[in-house]
Structure 1
């Protein structure tokens, strides 16, 4: 096994398709997203939403940083493969801790998160000794080391856990847009952060499919537990329709141009923005998963405002993220998707007067309408300017 710094970096002729270990890594997020949906289902309130968001953010940070890592480094290199396997284990440990991540399992959740980020950065910085790109890895190591102090402080002192972890998340998400500025090492330049658009686009699509898979699994489990009554069956079909419509609205037509936009623009800005917008969309799918469970279990009941809100919020978050993604790619707004947002807001206001099944049916009608109008207006979504 070659230990030269260049042996760690990606090769120009390396295939752009995701490797087996990247897909293996994605599988860990089936458990992670399922655990997050259960946490939110157990507490459908503002506090429950905030807690779920606080746990989703570091998990998404792991996924995005790993996607960039596999784009920068040679996936056939044994060290890279070992780090991918270790990161997969780290995500699984974080997932196991999620139900009590802000309580008794805080050490497992935060410890695994800090260990996988620091471990990866240490291994790559040691291997790249003497190479110009080592500065990039050292900057990342310093920033994750700084946020790690707050993650671990929250473990040691439960009284400051939530504010400390909030600061840690803020540091982790501010680092890349700022270029990881570090005393003595400067700020990362666009040339150091070059990404392959086709590879990153494929990775985004794969993790989004994983999220949709978790939604389908949740709907299937809820349907199995509720029985095969007419109302439960209709609710299950509506949940499946939302999953299918969400998938269709995601892949067409911007998927053809996202890769080109990443290749042509500053990855420090556009690559991070694309990742954050995918976070919004995946948060929407997690909320939709919770809503599917609620609607299938209680289809004919008039639910409280929080249940109605979560039922509408999932598709609304997805559409908001999808509108934003189209806007940054094409530098103009998808009007059909944008019009879906006020329509969903109307459903949220009228929802408490309807059974949950009616709220879900109205939401499906909005997504179908958006899909039809979007198909008719594809002409404006030509290649990026």
Structure 2
């Protein structure tokens, strides 16, 4: 008996809410992509390179989170869905290889790999829902139409000169990021009705948490590799300890009182699709971007510990933790309706540290950033402990 595309949909059982081995295998490509991005930034962190990196962070997150939405709806233990992930993995490897030179001689390769991942995945989902779920089918029809427009801009940018390339790629990303907010409105068809996709909020929360672990793991890998090549510097042991501690503290801040509440909120809400969009699709972007920029700042402080601070590198050394705290504060506020004042205080303190940048060395900026992150974690831990008896 042949397998119908109806059998490709995710089953409603306990196991279906857990990340599958094919999904975890797929994530390995993004470990490579994040390492490529981090090393490119650390080697030449100028304002122009930083702007390009922001574009790449937006692109990598968007292709990953949209693939996660599709695997949330489909059964990844079925062979056709596994084959889809393998194809996307190969395209992801090509994309990661081209990333460091995307604004020089490999722009078209990057654009083709990115567009292929977006369109192949969307067309596959379109076929999977054909004849099984009319509302979901039309939603993916709209998504495919939007991605076709953005892909044309990606490819046109890959063929253009670097300055025009950036403009076209920013326009492509703007279209893609506006899509969910506008419910993929298409002329003559209109916008997709709300809550058309039967998603599992718990599964999305777990997948996003795993991507945060990937980003934190990439931080440890690149920091360890950079420290090994700079052990002759007197400040390396101190910066390495701070870098490792800041990674642990970021893990603690995200997982100790944030991730589980986000999963509960996504699973228990009456509007799972809308909640997942602003809690995960959009809400996790600053968290991931903050971790990546923090890793870049740690790499730079390892390679130039005694060098006087500069506003060229401060956006990574201090801006990364600011983005991370702002993102986790948003996630926790949405999940629990309780504003984490510790995070707000951390953002203010980190922003104030920008005033001291020209007067202290890079390793001192790193120590300050780590101390503030630790202060936030301790404050939140104590506040939560005090609230527990009242809740009981």
TM range (shorter): over 0.9
Is 2:343 the partner of 1:337?
yes
What is the aligned partner in structure 2 of residue 227 from structure 1?
Answer: 231
What is the aligned partner in structure 1 of residue 324 from structure 2?
Answer: 318
The verdict on how the C-alpha distance between 1:216 and 1:226 changes in structure 2, with shifts beyond 3 A counting, is: same
Instruction: Choose the corresponding residue for 2:212, options 208, 212, 234.
Output: 208
Question: What displacement does 1:192 show?
Answer: 1.6
Question: What displacement does 1:351 show?
Answer: 2.2
Question: What displacement does 1:166 show?
Answer: 0.8
CA distance in 1, matches of 2:99, 2:305: 28
Q: Deviations over 1:309-330 (max 9, x none)?
A: 3211111110011111112212
The verdict on how the C-alpha distance between 1:307 and 1:23 changes in structure 2, with shifts beyond 3 A counting, is: same
What is the aligned partner in structure 1 of residue 203 from structure 2?
Answer: 199
TM-score by length of structure 2 reads: 0.92
What is the aligned partner in structure 2 of residue 153 from structure 1?
Answer: 156
What is the aligned partner in structure 2 of residue 112 from structure 1?
Answer: 113
What is the aligned partner in structure 2 of residue 70 from structure 1?
Answer: 71
Question: What displacement does 1:289 show?
Answer: 1.1
Instruction: Choose the corresponding residue for 1:364, options 370, 380, 391.
Output: 370
What is the aligned partner in structure 2 of residue 121 from structure 1?
Answer: 122
Is 2:263 the partner of 1:259?
yes
Question: What displacement does 1:208 show?
Answer: 0.5
The verdict on how the C-alpha distance between 1:191 and 1:5 changes in structure 2, with shifts beyond 3 A counting, is: farther
Question: What displacement does 1:381 show?
Answer: 9.1
CA distance in 1, matches of 2:3, 2:121: 16
Instruction: Choose the corresponding residue for 2:315, options 309, 317, 332.
Output: 309
CA distance in 2, matches of 1:374, 1:58: 32
Q: Secondary structure at the match of 1:350?
A: helix
Unpaired segments ≥5 residues, structure 1: none
CA distance in 2, matches of 1:184, 1:83: 31
1:346-361 correspondence to structure 2 within 5 Å:
346-361=352-367
Question: What displacement does 1:130 show?
Answer: 2.4
CA distance in 2, matches of 1:344, 1:174: 30
Q: Secondary structure at the match of 2:257?
A: coil
Q: Secondary structure at the match of 1:305?
A: coil
Q: Which runs of 4+ in 1 moved over 3 A?
A: 183-186, 379-382
1:152-171 correspondence to structure 2 within 5 Å:
152-158=155-161, 160-171=164-175
What is the aligned partner in structure 1 of residue 194 from structure 2?
Answer: 190
CA distance in 2, matches of 1:26, 1:49: 24
- Computed over aligned residues only, the root mean square deviation of the Cα atoms, in angstroms, reads 1.9
Is 2:37 the partner of 1:40?
no
